[in-house]
Amino acid sequence: MTTERIDRTSVGLRSERGPILLAVMLSIGLVAIDATILATAVPSVVADLGGFTQFPWLFSIYLLAQAVSVPIYGKLADQRGRKPIMLLGVGLFVLGSVLCGFAWSMPALIAFRLVQGLGAGAIQPIGMTIVGDIYTVAERAKVQGYIASVWGISSFVGPTLGGVFSDFISWRWIFFVNIPLGIAAAWVLVRRFEEKVADKTSHRIDYSGAILLAVGGSLLLLGLLEGGVMWDWDSPASIVILAAAVVLLVGFVFVERRAAEPILPLWVLRQRVLNSANSAALLIGLLMIGLSTYVPLFAQSVLGTSALVAGFALAAMTLGWPIAASFAGRIYLRVGFRTTMLMGSLIVVLGSGVLLTVGSGSSVLHLAAACFVIGVGLGFSASPSVVAAQSSVDWQTRGVVTGANMFSRSVGSAVGVAVFGAVANGVVAARLGDDHADLEKVPAEVLAPAVHDVYYGAAAAALLLVVAVLFMPNRITERPLRD
């Protein structure tokens, strides 16, 4: 662990590496804004295209495509270099955005969201990998503030743009707005990012492993996302999908054991640093989806707020995260990774405890305060875990490691959808019977205890996060930026 003092002017946007950092920020901005801008426009989209029963797939198909492609992009970036894979991701995302903007039906829009998801699967992990390549651990303590600011700004810009476009222009512009951002990011990458691929020898692409991971991972996420929604958990469809996923993923493990250049090397599962970081990422994904799904629902249906106010209650979490992440670097350089992440996870536990005190008579500020505290804790937990994982490996495997971390977070989100959905629906079914309507139409006096049980689940996940963090080494021997 280095203790060198880093001048912000040597790593900021005006530094020699500044244009590359700017390109990464613009690229990640595409994904960050997309995470919030579409939700506010759904009523306008449905009013124009129809397909109300199909609109959840606008989010599910994007998540599926993003999640299963992340490990594949990570491996390709280690083989071919970061630049071509990042440009591919930006290109796919912009292409998907253009197609979405011209979509003529809900099925077409869903298909084009898949293209967007494939682009997003490259942008975020490869962007973070580039940051890991060009900055040392000490420098990333400063750079984290720039990356975190993208998410902080997007948490407010996204919903605002979505509302403005939907109400005053057209929902199609929530996709067209990505075009100038994507072009700017690609132009800077082409002009200013020069990289020297560490290994110029010919590579063998693990097609079998990639196919098994993509199909098996898609079926697993599909089963978790739609189980209890599109079909019952004990239905033939659910059993067949989840069983097929298990068979394919077991086959993937066997293939990877014999592959010359596995798409996801199994040694990733045997390193203490990576296991702790990936376990933390999974639990963070679970916590995020729990809050993102049930906080706005509770605010609107139980506390009686508007959709806009409910959105800002959740935005308190996305505001707390970047604020904490911008300070996390200074802390882990002084006290170590485990200590910093432990502090963050304990703050998450504290925030979860505050969330448990929110009731039907609480104010929306009470709910927002709990979200803000949890966001601060996640910021101190998530950012150091990614830096620790990247710093423990060399250039040739940094893409795979970053991709595995992002994939773990996506799996956590899918697991969270399944677990929290089962908890909430179980409580509602016990009170209203199996013929109850969807959660948005459940009476407040029934919905309140259902969501409260979800908050208990979030608190349990927060405690598990503390356990996962304890396995992280406090100090890590940093590998050189390039061997």
List, as one string, the DSSP characters of 71-84: HHHHHHHHHH-HHH
Q: Which sign does the torsion angle of CA 179, 182, 185, 188 carry?
A: negative
> How far apart are the two ends of the chain, measured CA to CA in Å?
18
List beta partners, residue 231: 227
- Asked if the model's pLDDT at residue 483 lies above 50, the reply is no
Is the confidence at residue 308, as pLDDT, over 70? no
> Mean pLDDT of all residues in the chain?
81
Q: Give the DSSP letter string of 65-112.
A: HHHHHHHHHHHHHHHH-HHHHHHHHHHHHHHHHHHHHT--SHHHHHHH
Neighbours of 440 (CB within 10 A): 9
- Give the per-residue pLDDT at 174: 85
pLDDT band of residue 201 (cuts 50, 70, 90) is low
Number of Cβ within a 10 Å radius of residue 127: 28
Structure tokens at 169: 């222009």
Q: How far is CA 42 from CA 46, 65, 222, in A?
A: 6, 20, 21
- Say what the pLDDT of residue 233 is: 76
- How confident is the model at residue 364, as a pLDDT? 86
Q: Do 281 and 468 contact (CB within 8 A), yes or no? A: no
pLDDT of residue 1: 46
Range ranked top by mean pLDDT from 8-12, 196-200, 305-309:
305-309
Q: Is the pLDDT of residue 40 over 70?
A: no
pLDDT at 437 over 60: no
Indicate whether 105 pLDDT > 60: yes
Those residues whose C-beta lies under 8 Å from the C-beta of residue 223, and which sit 6 or more positions away, are: 238, 241, 242, 245
- Residue 71 CA: distances (Å) to CA of 40, 77, 213: 30, 10, 9
Q: Identify the pLDDT of residue 479.
A: 60
Q: Which residue has the higher pLDDT, 326 or 384?
A: 384
On the 0-12 / 13-18 / 19+ scale of CB atoms within 10 A, 251 is middle
What pLDDT digit, counting tens, does each position of 364-409 carry? 899 889 999 998 999 898 888 888 888 877 777 778 888 888 888 8
Of 247 and 232, which is predicted with more confidence? 247
Please write the tens of the pLDDT for every residue from 139-155.
777 777 778 778 777 76
- Least confident interval from 21-35, 309-323, 333-347: 309-323
pLDDT band at 38 (very low <50, low <70, confident <90, very high): confident
Which tokens hold the place of 204? 């063998």
Report the pLDDT value the prediction gives residue 48, as an integer from 0 to 100.
Answer: 79
Nearest to 295 by CA among 234, 348, 372, 218: 372
Reading the block at residue 368, the tokens are: 């927002």
Question: Helix, strand, or coil here: 242?
Answer: helix
pLDDT for residue 170 is more than 70: yes
Q: Give the rounded percent of residues in the chain with a pLDDT score beyond 70.
A: 88
The gap from C-alpha 329 to its chain's centroid, in whole angstroms, comes to 20
pLDDT in tens, 110-119: 889 989 989 9
pLDDT tops 90 at residue 197: no
Residues written for the chain: 483
d(CA 66, CA 216): 14
Question: Residues near 356 by Cβ (< 8 Å), separated by ≥ 6?
Answer: 452, 455, 456, 459
Tens of pLDDT along 49-88? 876 556 667 777 887 888 888 888 888 887 778 889 999 9
Each residue's pLDDT tens digit, 216-229:
888 887 787 777 66
Sign of the CA dihedral with 19 first, then 93, 222, and 416 last: positive
> Does the global pTM surpass 0.75?
yes
Distance of CA 117 to the CA centre of its chain: 12
* Secondary structure of residue 231 in the 3-state scheme: strand
Distance CA 59, CA 134 (A): 33
Tokens 């629902």 locate to 297
Q: What is the residue-wise DSSP string for 365-393? A: HHHHHHHHHHHHHHHHHHHHHHHHHHHTS
Q: How confident is the model at residue 90 (pLDDT cuts 50, 70, 90)?
A: very high
Residue at 423: amino acid letter: V
Residue 200 CB neighbour total at 10 angstroms: 8
Model pLDDT, residue 467: 93
- pLDDT at res. 221: 76
Predicted pLDDT at 99: 94
